[in-house]
Amino acid sequence: MTQATLAPPSSPAATAPGPTARRRRTLHNSEARGAWTLMAPYLLLLLVAGVIPICYAIYTSLQKAPTPLQPEAGFGGVQSFVTVFTDYRFWATLGNIFSVLLVWLPLMILGIVGLALLVHASPGRFGSAMRFVYYVPGALAGIANFVLWVYLLNPGQSPIGFLLEGFGMSTIKAVAAPDNLPVILAGMLFFQGVGTWIIVVNGGLNGIPDEVFEAASLDGANSWQVAWRIKIPLIRPWIGYAALMNLAYGFQLFLEPYLLDQVASGAIADQWTPSQLGYAFAFSNYNFPAAAAMSIILLVITLGIGLLIVFRSGLFGEEEK
Amino acid sequence: MAGTKTIDSYVPSAVGSHHWSISRVARLVTMTFVAALFIFPIIGFVAMAFRDQSAVADGSDGFLGLGGVSIGNALFSWSQIIGFGTGEGGIFLRWMGNSLIVSIGGALIAVVAAIPAGYALARLRFRFRRTVLFVTLLTMVMPNTVLVIPLFLEVNAIGAVGQLWPVAVIMGFFPFGVYLSYIHFMTTMPPELVEAARIDGLSEIGIFFQVATPISKQAIALVTFFAFVANWTNFFLPLALLTSNSENKTVSLGIQELIGASPLFNPTVAAGLDVKLYMPQLALATFISMLPLLILFIGAQRFLMRGQTVGAVKG
């Protein structure tokens, strides 16, 4: 389980059982041809929705930003990256992301692990009913989750309006103040995301053989000790996976701050996250090279996290054997 | 539900100590409390869709507003939602239709691409198999929003911004579906089956259609489900590709437009509108926009619980 995902590729011929070498080779030719034919639609989509846009973004980022005097752009080298890095908002957006991650990630991991352990300790109908309830908000992804939170955060009609007003906030503009944003966003993301991950981690817990628990109870371990000493160490790959996936997710935050800014009539910076900054480069400044450079920076960050997940989480590659 | 559990936790068992029942009660109370935190906002929000704005403003509908719920209120709110738009209004239905087109179109493309690809990766041997698998895993775990701006640049370069078909095609690229299909064939289709079909003289393509496809119902259902949900709730991609054309917006973008037209958040813009969009109307529009997902969730629940534990799920 802790082994790296892609073990050194063994040559196909060595693993393939076949009566004679020649038959094996012809078989392999037709097998490979069949495989590529079957994968053709997927590979085409990978090209159109993955490879080409990335290459085109790299190409675009190396162009000069068009100006009114010089509408035709030419090769600009790394100028667009300089534009991004020296933009006064760039480091601020990264700081904002970290301020959200600081609140959200610990809350998320604690919630996922804690609730998954509780669900796992409750076999039968109560446990599965609770697991379902925790999953329900996950169905309200995207804008629906956002409108629900507007309902919660607008003191005028919120069921927790008395609390918000108790803190001296009587309008949604006051609630969505920049200082509160990390907590609000952490709440939104937790609410919509935790349920799915409880199911994933719960799946990991269900994979632990019963004998392990039997042995533990024979040794006189109580339920706390079982959870702490046995379950948590055994589901560590899933916890790491959840942490990294959510970390990557954090870097692309867009919808929530973008729309909060809209309902809070400008209480928040228009470009609060890196994705918003990239969007502004493209759609407000029409500076496509800078927008492309911004996406490449984000791509590199999430690619790094993605590589960590695939190679280090230990969750992928088991089925290779 | 909780009743039976709590009662038997009070029954002293042979080995059960006092400590055991306390920790059991603590567990049940914690779980129920968290469940309440999750459920009450949703109940209050759905109730909001069936309330009247003046009562909402007065705060007079009792606990979570459940006292002021009526179908008549919802019908009035619906008349406001459907009245939104230039001329006769009715653009909300058009947005719902657009969402259906791109979500179903994207899910169909995803299934058609993912099932054969997953099969090939799981059961056929060829050079670069591991490379394709690795790229699939990598693209699966990366948030798809990081590519939105590059995709916009690409679609812009071919002059198709504002049209629905590029959105559906891009949504059809669904590596998580390939992974699901790969796991499906790995776990349900023994390699000997492929070997036997070859000896029977079937071609590689023939094996896929005549042997693999008939046993991939579960995978098809899962890929369709996850792709549809991801497409329906996608916001950033339609925002970048469709905002310029109000007629072709998806319902997610439409709700954003409704929020922008609400006097709650933007009194100046809303003053010129015939319809009044307050929280009950926004809640109802959101509720209606979630109905297709709700129906799908209830319909697919059986597949879902089995399938979610199959592998890691894209968050």
Tell me if A62 sits within 8 A of A80, measured CB to CB. Answer: yes
Could you identify the residue written with the tokens 């036997």?
B196
Interhelix angle A52-61/A288-312, rounded to 10 degrees, is 130
Residue in B139, B146, B174 to test binding to A, most A beta-carbons within 10 Å: B146
What are the helix (H) ranges across A140-208?
143-153, 161-166, 172-175, 181-206
Residue of A239, A171, A178 whose CA lies nearest to A204 = A239
> For residue B268, how many C-alpha atoms fall within 13 Å in the half-sphere facing its CB?
1
With an 8 Å Cβ cutoff, are B289 and A156 in contact?
no
A-B interface: how many C-beta pairs under 8 angstroms? 314
Fold entry, domain A89-320: MetI-like fold (1.10.3720)
SS3 assignment, position A75: strand
Chain B residues near residue A248 by CB distance under 8 angstroms: 141-143
Distance (Å, whole) CA B104 – CA B71:
30
CB contact under 8 A, A151 and B279: yes
User: What integer pLDDT is reported at residue B30 of this predicted model?
Assistant: 94
Q: Is A312 left (phi over 0), alpha (psi -120 to 50) or beta?
A: alpha
- The one-letter code for the residue type at B129 is R
From residue B48, alpha-carbon distances to A140, A223, B260 in Å are 16, 42, 19
Q: What is the pLDDT of residue A22?
A: 57
Q: Do A161 and B59 touch (CB under 8 A)?
A: yes
Q: Do B150 and A53 touch (CB under 8 A)?
A: yes
| Domains of chain B, start order | 2-83 (no CATH), 91-308 (1.10.3720.10)
pLDDT tens per residue, range B53-103: 888 888 777 888 888 889 999 999 999 999 888 777 889 999 999 999 999
Name the maximum alpha-carbon separation found in chain B: 77
CB-nearest to B204 from A6, A16, A30 is A30
Cα-to-chain-centroid distance, residue A16: 37
Residues 123..162 of A with a Cβ closer than 8 Å to B: which? Answer: 124-126, 129-130, 133-134, 136-137, 139-144, 147-148, 150-152, 154, 156-157, 159, 161
- Contact assignment for B116 to A39 by CB distance below 8 Å: yes
User: Half-sphere exposure (CA, 13 Å, Cβ side) for A206?
Assistant: 18
Select from A42, A61, A128 the residue whose CB has the most chain B CBs within 10 Å, as the one to mutate to test that interface.
A42
Q: Are B160 and B166 in contact (CB under 8 A)?
A: yes
Q: Chain A closest CA to B88's CA: distance in Å? A: 26
CB of B180 within 8 A of CB of B114? yes
Using CB atoms, pick whichever of B1, B114, B240 lies closest to residue A42.
B114
Check: pTM over 0.90? Answer yes or no. Answer: no
- A263 contacts chain B (CB < 8 A): yes
In the structure, what pLDDT confidence band is assigned to residue B19 with cuts at 50, 70 and 90?
Answer: low
A177 touches chain B (CB under 8 A): no
Per residue in B178-198, is it b (16+ CB within 10 Å) or e — as a string?
bbbbbbbbbeebeeeebeebb
Which 3 state secondary structure label does DSSP give A63?
Answer: strand
pLDDT at B305: 60
**Would the CB atoms of A33 and B240 count as touching at under 8 Å?**
no
Residue with tokens 């995301």: A193
Query: What does the alpha-carbon distance between residue A41 and residue B230 come to, in Å, rounded to a whole number?
Result: 20
Across the interface, whether the CB atoms of A147 and B282 are under 8 A apart is answered yes
Lookup: tokens for B114: 């993912």
Chain A partners of B197 at a C-beta cutoff of 8 Å? none
Interchain contact, A223 vs B20, CB within 8 Å:
yes
Tell me the shortest Cα–Cα distance from B139 to chain A, in angstroms.
8
Q: What is the pLDDT of residue A20?
A: 55
Contact flag A282-B240 (C-beta cutoff 8 Å): yes
pLDDT confidence band for B7 (50 / 70 / 90): very low
Q: Does A71 touch chain B (CB under 8 A)?
A: no
Q: What ipTM score was computed for the predicted complex, to two decimals?
A: 0.86
Partners of A63 in the β-ladder: A75
Give the per-residue pLDDT at A68.
64
Q: What is the spatial distance between Cα B175 and Cα A22, in angstroms, rounded to a whole number? A: 35
Q: Could you tell me the mean pLDDT of each successive run of 10 residues in chain A, 321 residues long?
A: 37 45 67 94 96 93 77 77 91 94 95 94 88 86 92 88 86 86 94 90 87 88 86 89 90 92 84 92 90 93 90 65 34
Q: Token digits for A10? A: 């063994």
pLDDT of B208 higher than 60: yes
Q: For A4, which DSSP code? A: -
- The residue of chain A with its CA nearest to that of B176 is A42
Distance of alpha carbon B237 from alpha carbon B253, whole angstroms: 10
In degrees and rounded to multiples of 5, residue B51 shows phi and psi of -110, 175
Q: What is the dihedral of CA B150, B154, B160, B165, to 10 degrees?
A: -70
**pLDDT tens digit string along B229-248?**
999 999 999 999 999 888 99
Query: Most B CBs within 10 Å: which of A39, A44, A122, A190, as the mutation test of the B interface?
Result: A39
- What's the token pair of residue A15? 């693993």
Between vectors from CA B195 to CA B192 and to CA B199, what angle results, nearest 5°? 135
CA–CA distance, A63 with A53 (Å, rounded to integer)? 15
Q: Which among B127, B150, B170 is the nearest to A295, CB-wise? A: B150
Cβ burial B284-297 (10 Å sphere, 16+ → b, else e): bbbbbbbebbeebb
Return the C-alpha torsion angle B10, B11, B17, B18, nearest 10: 30
Residue type, position B21, single letter: S
Whose tokens are 């935050």? That residue is A253
Q: What is the pLDDT of residue A159?
A: 86
Which pLDDT belongs to residue B111? 97
> Which of B48, B137, B139 lies at the smallest CB-CB distance from A151?
B48
- H or E element that contains A60: helix A52-61
Please check whether residue A104 touches B, CB under 8 A.
no
CA B215 to chain centroid, in Å, comes to 25
**Does A53 contact B293 at a Cβ distance shorter than 8 Å?**
no
The shortest C-alpha distance from A169 to chain B (Å) reads: 16
Give B110-131 pLDDT, tens digit per residue.
Answer: 999 999 999 999 999 999 999 9
**pLDDT confidence of residue B306:** 60
Contacts of B16 (CB under 8 A, 6+ apart): none
Structure tokens at B135: 């790229």
A314 in contact with chain B, both atoms CB, cutoff 8 A: no
* Nearest residue to B108 via CA among B242, B234, B228: B228
Nearest to B75 by CA among B51, B55, B43, B91: B51
B6 contacts in chain A (CB < 8 Å): none
Q: Would you state the structure tokens that stand for residue B255, as one six-digit string? A: 């709700």
The 10s digit of each residue's pLDDT in B163-203 is 999 999 999 999 999 999 999 999 888 999 999 999 999 99
Residue A35 to chain B, least CA–CA distance (Å): 5
- Residue B146 to residue A309, Cβ atoms within 8 A: no
Helices within B84-174 (DSSP H only): 91-123, 129-141, 148-157, 164-172
Residue A203 and residue B308: Cβ atoms within 8 Å? yes
